[in-house]
Structure 1
Amino acid sequence: MRYKYWYCLVLFLLIGRINAQGPPITADKPIMLGGGSFTTKTLVEIRNTERGTFTYIPVMLHFLPTSNSLVALHLPYLGYDFDNGSDGSGLADIKIMGKYQFLRKDGTGKTFRMVAKTLQTLPTGEELDIVDISTGKYAGYFGIVAGYESLKYGISNEVGYNWMPNGTLDELRYKLGFGLPLLKPQYPNKQLNLYFEYTNSWFTSRDWYQLLYAQGIQYARKNITFDLAVQVPLVNDVDNGRKLNYSIFLGTRYTF
């Protein structure tokens, strides 16, 4: 299983360049780049739970046909190591995302935007029952993302429902994130940003509830950006043996 960490490092370095501040780390925001732009990025998650440790490495390809629309393909690799002794690696659930920005209000040094979002999860991974990573079952997520961003701070909200018709992981989801820049805007680009992000998940079929908090930091220097976040549970009302201990996120992206 050691080679999966080398794969993670190589992928992280290959696409580690960017020409602007990235989005929130575990949340989302409705700010879009110009039409015709293309982004490759990754957000590696090392998730430690009572069941074992899972390393999720997605290659994410995002394209903006217009300035208010986005389509994306997420191709994920998964390495898993269960505490019962079983381990392995391979393809996780592939995801296809679409966004459409339907509201935009700009002011001096600030903007408010809203987008409709869908995320279609294809059952390409093993049936490991790893939430949002490898379930081996189709799921369709439909939500709304709203965000306000200024030179002083940013706020993002997302609410949506993840529907799994042939499984038991239907989820009502609400995310809230705050971004705080620590440096004044400058050129060439140099940024240091803090992120404070909350994820509420109600798994309606299983009667589970989780409230997760992620503390993140983002560094941007000219065209290079790196993300780091640690996520821990504040409320962990799920079955014994299934609780999250923590997750570590490493992210980067390149836009052209």
Structure 2
Amino acid sequence: MKSYILTMAIALLALLKLQAQGPPITADKPIMLGGGSFTAKTLTEIRKTERGTFTYVPLMLHYLPTANSLVAVHLPYISYSFNTNEEDGSGLADIKVMGKYQFFRKDGTGKTFRMVAKTLQTLPTGEALDVMELSTGKYQGYYGLVAGYESLKYGISNELGYNWMPDGTLDEFRYKLGFGLPLLKPQYPNKQLNLYFEYTNSWLTERDWYQLLYAQGIQYARKNVTFDLAVQVPLVNDVDEGRRLKYSLFLGTRYTF
């Protein structure tokens, strides 16, 4: 009987460890769910810039063929309103296809460290709006590494990668750093309230632009549903006049099954 209780306690601890925090909001994490699982999600971004306002609404479908691999497709809609004499409009943005493979994992009691190789292929299906990550009308290939540490008390995620645009000028070195802080004790059924502090460094090599962005987010999760809210503002905005970011507002939800 004692051995049965011990086994159940260890299993519960492992479950709580994986549910200590949900996925970051504007960043990424290397922790994956079990093989065969699906996640349907959206993360609407309302981006306010000197050039205009862009509302980006993606439908994202993620599937894990195995416990250490993921494939996904992002089908986005965008509407845009310019402050210049450019024409306003709406329609399909650039479709994205993502792949991830977890190649390193080290677990401890109430903690885990993992690393993932990631690629994001952007198809030129959107209008040529020259809006980073949303709609450029040009092919792009992103290749990066994601590393993350997570415990019952906090989580840290890092992502380093390069975005290649062979027929354009949006080649970019990208580094993201995120911190997650759970506000509730781990419990079952899953119930979470998390704060996120996320930084994005973006160097556009051909245009000689640099941005350092900070996102403050909050996340609520109940069982297999998650709700996200974040505001992102520039700390460093070394880009051309008229193209600078003022702020972005993110609203998202996820459902895993």
**TM-score > 0.5, shorter chain as reference:** yes
2:61 corresponds in structure 1 to 61
Partner of 2:173: 172
Where 2:232 maps in the other structure, the secondary structure is: strand
Q: C-alpha separation between the residues in 2 aligned to 1:224 and 1:254?
A: 5
| 2:45 equivalent in structure 1 | 45
Question: Segments of 4+ in structure 1 off by > 6 A?
Answer: none
Deviations 1:49-84 (A, max 9, x none): 000000000000000000000000000000000112
Residue 14 of structure 1 corresponds to none
Write the letter of the residue equivalent to 1:48.
K
Using the TM superposition, give the Cα deviation of residue 20 of structure 1 relative to its aligned residue in structure 2, in angstroms.
Answer: 8.8
Q: Is the 8 A contact 1:142 1:161 kept in 2?
A: yes
* Cα-to-partner distance string for 1:173-215 (whole Å, 9 max, x where unaligned): 0000000001101122221100000000000000000000000
Query: How far apart are the structure 2 equivalents of 1:63 and 1:186?
Result: 26
Residue deviations 1:20-62 (CA, integer Å, cap 9, x gap): 9531000000000011111110010000000000000000000
Q: Which has the larger radius of gyration?
A: 2
CA distance in 2, matches of 1:134, 1:119: 14
Partners of 1:250 and 1:212 lie apart in 2 by 17
Corresponding residue number in structure 2 for 1:75:
75
| Equivalent position of 1:196 in the other structure | 197
2:4 corresponds to: none
The residue aligned with 1:28 is: 28
Structure with the bigger RCO (C-alpha within 8 Å, sep 6+) is 1
| 1:209 paired to 2:213 | no
- State the Cα deviation string for residues 230-250 of structure 1 (Å, max 9, x = none): 000000000000000000001
Map residues 231-242 of structure 1 onto 2, 5 A cutoff: 231-242=232-243
Residue in 2 aligned with 1:141? 142
Q: What is the number of residues matched between the two proteins?
A: 238
| TM-score normalised by structure 1 residue count | 0.91
Superposed displacement of residue 87, structure 1: 1.0
8 Å contact from structure 1 (residues 21, 225) kept in 2: no
Per the TM alignment, residue 223 of structure 1 is displaced from its structure 2 partner at its CA by 3.6
Hey, what does 1:9 align to over in structure 2?
none
Give the structure 1 partner of residue 254 of structure 2: 253
Partner of 1:224: 225
Matched residue type, 2:67: S
TM-score (norm 2): 0.91
Checking the alignment, whether the CA contact within 8 Å between 2:20 and 2:151 is kept in structure 1 is: no
Q: Which residue of 2 aligns with 1:7?
A: none
1:41 maps to amino acid:
K
Equivalent AA in structure 2 for residue 57 of structure 1: V
2:5 alignment counterpart: none
Unaligned runs of 5+ in 2: 1-18
Structure 1: stretches of 5+ with no match in the other structure: 1-18
1:20/1:220 contact within 8 Å kept: no
Show the counterpart of 2:8: none
**Share of identical aligned residues, percent?**
85
In 2, the alpha carbon distance for the partners of 1:20 and 1:60 equals: 23
